[in-house]
């Protein structure tokens, strides 16, 4: 059990760092109140989790420890639902109802689409 927790914790550690760096880089390149960085991180995380689950279901390329490292650990640390919720509250608090609707709708739609595409890509190979 300790081994599994260390595998997940290592993935989460790396995912959290990757989330911070990617979201910060994207957000710093945009002059907007819209949280593009978190949106991109969440969509990329959904694509990655779709790819990993698709590969683990269809091939032997992803062992159980690697699946846990990549999905529960890395993707769990990388994607940011709590940040998503907090940013939505900030948009509502600031009266940015258009950005709130756009961000919420696009996060849900693009997230689901990315998981589907990640899974579908694994069927090609």
Q: How far apart are CA 8 and CA 73, in angstroms?
A: 4
| Model pLDDT for residues 32-56, shown as the tens digit of each residue | 889 999 999 999 999 999 999 888 8
Q: How far apart are CA 84 and CA 87, in angstroms?
A: 5
Mean pLDDT computed over 72-82: 90
pTM: 0.81
| Model pLDDT for residues 16-30, shown as the tens digit of each residue | 999 999 999 999 999
* Domain ranges (residues) in the chain: 2-124
């Amino acid at each position: 059990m300790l081994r599994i927790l260390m595998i997940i914790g290592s993935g989460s550690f790396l995912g959290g760092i990757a989330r911070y760096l990617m979201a910060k880089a994207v957000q710093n390149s945009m002059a907007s109140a819209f949280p593009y960085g978190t949106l991109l991180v969440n969509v990329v995380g959904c694509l990655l989790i779709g790819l990993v689950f698709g590969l683990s279901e269809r091939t032997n390329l992803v062992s159980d420890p690697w699946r846990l490292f990549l999905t529960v650990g890395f993707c769990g640390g990388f994607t940011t639902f709590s940040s998503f919720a907090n940013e939505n509250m900030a948009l509502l608090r600031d009266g940015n109802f258009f950005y709130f609707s756009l961000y919420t709708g696009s996060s849900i739609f693009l997230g689901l689409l990315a998981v589907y595409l990640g899974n579908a890509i694994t069927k090609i190979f």
